[in-house]
Structure formats: structure tokens, C-alpha cells
Chains A and B, each alone.
Chain A
Amino acid sequence: MRNRVVGVILFLLGLLVTLTPRFILPVCEYHGFPAMNCSHTGIAEMFVGCILMVSALGLLFSTSHETLRWATVTALVTGVSVITLPEAIGYCHSSNMPCNYGTMPMLRLTGSAIILVSLAGFVLSFKGYRKA
């Protein structure tokens, strides 16, 4: 049950990361600006979101605590990536640009939520299971 709950939440967060840079709060390129660093960040974020969704899907079809543990570790890494990718690849630092006031805050928020959920899932993976 806990695998499914954590899996569903992580899947939805992964979906959010995948859809944000293009559809929910699009990066500048989709507001009529030319392609720039924030466009590349958006693509990278969508890729990371897909990885998170795949790892969350694994949780939906498994009841093993080992799966929960490793899936949440993967999710933790993706959560950190979601937050750090904009700094690594780059985005527009002007507060008048759509990626600065829309996409990046949303991604930071989602990334933080992913980290919290995956940490909770990681802790849960040690509780209630007895060693063989």
C-alpha cells in the first residue's frame, strides 16, 4: 500500500516536472522569445521528469520494501536535479522573463516536494518490515 501511495505521488510530481516547462508555466521560448539557455533547461527538466515517472511506475507494480528504497533514492536524485539544473544550464535572470517568474519557481517548488516525498518514502521503507 505504501509503495502505491508514494508511487502515485512521485508519478504526479514527475508529470508536473515534465509538463511545466512546455505546457503549465512554459519557458520563454514558448512565449515568443528565441531559444536560449532556459529552453535547454526546460528540455533537461522534461527528461528528468520522465525518469521520475518511470521510477514511480516501478513502485506501483511492486510491494517490496527494497523497490521502495531504491526508487526513492532515484527520486531523491531527480528531485535534487530538478532544483539544480536551472543553475547548471542557465535561465533568464531578469524578473520580467516568463521562465524567471513562472517556470523556475514552479520547478524549485516541485523539486522540493519530490525531495520531501522521497525522503519520507525512504524512511518508510525501513519501517514495518522485518529482516528475514
Chain B
Amino acid sequence: MAALCARAQSPTVRPLYAPLAGMQGMPDTELDVGAQPSEPPEPALALLMRLAEAPAGADATAMAHPAHRPDAGQHADHEQHAHDGLRSADEKASEDDPDAPFSPQFQVHLFADMKYAAVDTTGSRNGFSLGQFDLFGRSELSDAVNVIAEATLTALPRNTFSAHLERLMLTYSPSDVFSASVGRYHTGIGYYNTAYHHGTWFQTATGRPLIYAIDGDIGVIPIHTLGVSATGSIRSGSLGLHYLAEFGSGRAGQASAAPATQPALNDNNTPSVNGALWIRPEALDGLQLGVSVYRDRLTLIDTTKAPNDETIAAAHIVYKTDALELMTEGMIMRHDPLGGAPASDSRGYYAQASRRFGTTRPYVRMDYLDIPTTDPLFAFLGKRYGPSVGVRYDFQPFAALKLQTSHLNQTTRPDMSRFDAQVSFMF
């Protein structure tokens, strides 16, 4: 076989299979992309006109190849039809050079979910509800610049909806070691917050872990940041080290992109900073370990209280293979009032395990979040913890049914058990 391969690469040996369409005039010698076919040279004026009609930046050498000549192409197509039958639309597209710039094309994906929930808490009503309608779009402005936009419509009681622009990012990525974004993005705290966004179809369970709950409701971490972000890989051999650095407006400063995430906060001029490092060792495919530290200064609306320095440290271990999913993350959030008052430390973690059997994936998750009574923002949440057990059934490649039962012990509210049946899909 090695000889076979070497023969295929040999400059003096004929190809082992029928010649490529449009290459009938090719010499048997090794051909570089820049090599010219053994045909009469194209008149300079005609060549210039043809290049002028082509998209700016198109590869002239590739275009000069017979495969790109309209006349040769017709001949080539005929040859290939005889050899392969009708070509697919994809194959026709193969004649285009995707490296060539083009007018931006906005690719859209939509995600949605709906569910039935039964909750045993007094005052709660069982019934069906719409979840979140998520519009995700992406467009490439050039080889190195792209835009990501994500907007959601979330169903609220009484047939009302809230609309949020969740993400709007312009990203410049000239290389794998550096990529910069500006806009509104998911804060790079821990793993789950950047791995899973608003489309519940991607998530194994029906919802996010407690520590990554959406802010503004029962969430405690700043899910989104408005600012600039840089990320990339660090040359580290088989360690697979990556970095992330973010510089944003902080929790309250996001009011320009969405309703204030924490009503108890006021705007200030102190930026938030976040840094993260994670590794994906080659030795164990599917493993990721990482840490992140987020820092901000919070100005409370209650001006009788001192501003707080906020520090959120998170660590994660994730192991995902085709069948197995093991995820655990821990988080410590410190609110440290200026002026010497004691700081309050909140702690939380979750651990999730699942295994896929064909299209069915049973899972289990344990959530824990402990907010001390001295916390200036989230004391009302108290301590909350409990397990969730469920099964996800992918009845279609892009649609899943999830059945989940959960129990939550709470110190500031009555304990709660609930059952959720959710259908989530993308289209």
C-alpha cells in the first residue's frame, strides 16, 4: 500500500484512477497549483477581464487551471458525468474557492423548546409552557472576521415575552493563537457558561446548573459581559493549553444591551476583568480541565452601603466522549465591601454524569449553592441543593425529548420537587 501511495505521489506515474474532470490536458508530471497547463497561453487582455469579473482576491493560479475554464469545464463535466453519473450540488460547489472573499451571507439557526412542568410547591401551577425561542446567526465578513448574533424570546406568564439580544460579537481571528472579539458575549467563567448558551437542545438536561442559572432571575454569576475578549491556544505540546482574557463593563454596565441583570446594582466606571486557562491533554481525548478568575467592583443602588469588590473563582473538570459525559465545576464568589467590613463567600458546585445508549441518554446531576445571609446581592437565595435525574431521547437528529425529575432543598423557601417533560429542537 505504501508503494501504491508513493506511486500516486510520483511525478512520473499516471494517476491510478480516471483523470479528474477538466484535467484532460494536464501533463503527467507533478503539477503544482501554480503550474500552468500545456495549453496556448491565454491572451493577457482576456485573462485580465476574466480576473476582473472574478471576486476580489480569488486565487488566480487556481483559476488559471483548466478546471476553471468555462470551456474546459463543460468538457470536464461531460467526462465526469460519464464516469460518476450526475454530480451533486455539493460537488458543483467544489468549483468555487471558499477562500475567496464574498458578500456576507447570514447563516441562521433557530432553537426552541416547550415543556410540561409539575411542581409540588404551594401556589405553583402545573401545565405547559413555551421555553425560549433562540435565533442564532453567523456571518463571515472576510477570511478572518466574523459576526455572531443571538437573540431570544422568552415566554413569561400571562402570554407575554421578553426579548433579549444575548450575544452580538464581532470577532477577528487571524491565527489559532490569537482571536479578539468585541461586543456582548457569554462571560468565560467556568465551562458550562461558554459551552452551552441559550439553545437547550445542546444541553443534556432540561436546564442549566444552579450556579449557571440565567442572571436576573435566580442566577448568581454574570452570564454576559459587554466588552472585549481575546482567546487562543498557547504552544504547549501535548498539553493543549488555551487562554482567555476579557475586559468588560461589569454586571450593571450591561444595561445598554439588555435589562439590568441585577436590579440592586448601579452603574460605575470600574471595568470587569476575567481570565481563564484550560488544558485539553492529548493523552486523554475528551478531557478538559480549567480555571477562571473574574473580578469586578459593584456599586449598590442603596448608597448607604459601601461598594463591593467581587471575585469569582471557578474550576472545572470535564470528560466527554461519544457515549460518556462527566462534568463537575466548583465556584467561589466573594463579595468584599470596601471599608473593612467582613467579606462574604458563596460556594456552589454541580456534578453531572450521563451515558448514551443509542438515542437514549440517562443522566443525573447534583446541584449545590450556598449563599450566606451576609451577601449584599443574593442572600435571599440562601442554601439550595438537590439532585436531578432524567433521560434524554433524541427521537430525531435535531430534536430531543427530555424527562427530568428534580428535588431542591432550600433554606429560604419551601423545598420543591418537580417533574419536567421538555421537547427541544433546532431548525
A and B from one assembly?
no
B residues at A contact (CB < 8 Å): none
